[in-house]
Amino acid sequence: MLSESESTARPLAELTDAELHAQLAHASKVVATVQAEIEQRATERLQLHAERREIAAMQKRLEAELDGRAAKHQRRGSGPSGAGPSTPRTARGRDALDLDEEADECVVTMQMRKVELGTFDYGACHVAFTERAIRFYTNEAPRFQPKGYPEEIELEMSALAYIQIDKQRGLMCVTGSFEYAVPGHYHCISAANGPLSRALFHFDTSEGDGVWSGSYRAKRVNALLRLSPHIRNKSHFNPERIDFAAELQRFKRRAAEKAAAEKAAAEKAART
């Protein structure tokens, strides 16, 4: 059999069935590899943005601590170990922070194995939480893009109603009067308190289903609750034990059954 490069150079009509099947398999493999690379790069980009924000926030906390200590030493009239007054943070450090106003925010990031806004599945996403908003980028795969192109989703914390954390099932349900909407799938106002108004964030459960105490996701959730009193007061550990994922699946199933019944009725009416 000819090599792949030789076969590709020949017109398709001259190739044998075996050669065509081989080229098809090779092309499928290349497409899958490229798609995986695209998704990996999108995830890495989100992680880099989140890490940059975390480092900038840490820098601000460290500088604040040094400033506080410097002020104490100055009030005492001498620096540490009698070496004279401590030097406050430099102008260069302030300028570095001013270049990115988001550096003023503390950021908590979590890798979610799946994010669902209403009935739309965004797939695996790296999600960033601040006291101002919940942000994540849509997956590079078109099936995870409600608008047909990559975008950053933002749910503003000022519109937050509740965060329900289900430790047993490994997910977090977020509700509020957010501006973002996906027609036919997600709308907070018109579908209040129903599956269409819920944002479900499914935690990465690689540490084991049902494992919570001491887990990485437990530590990240605790960090989330410390972002602001507003977030902490709006957060609960699912006291009513609602199975949000199961309710969403039942809603989808009933909607599909209703659509099928309406289609069958329309077809029957068209025949009569």
Instruction: Enter the pTM of the model.
Output: 0.62
178, 188 contact by CB (below 8 A):
yes
pLDDT the model gives residue 215: 87
* Amino acid (1-letter code) at residue 245: A
pLDDT the model gives residue 88: 40
pLDDT the model gives residue 268: 86
CA distance 56 to 61: 9
SS3 letters across 57-97: HHHHHHHHHHHHHHHHHHHHCCCHHHCCCCCCCCHHHHHHH
185, 120 contact by CB (below 8 A):
yes
Secondary structure letter of residue 12 according to DSSP: G
Residue 165: strand pairing partners: 172
CA distance 191 to 174: 14
pLDDT tens over the chain, length 272 residues: 444 454 456 787 888 888 888 888 888 888 888 877 777 777 777 777 777 777 767 766 776 666 666 666 656 554 444 444 333 433 333 333 333 344 456 899 999 999 999 999 999 999 999 999 999 999 888 899 998 898 999 999 999 999 999 999 999 999 999 999 999 999 988 666 789 999 999 998 776 666 788 888 999 999 999 999 999 999 999 999 999 999 999 999 999 999 999 999 898 888 87
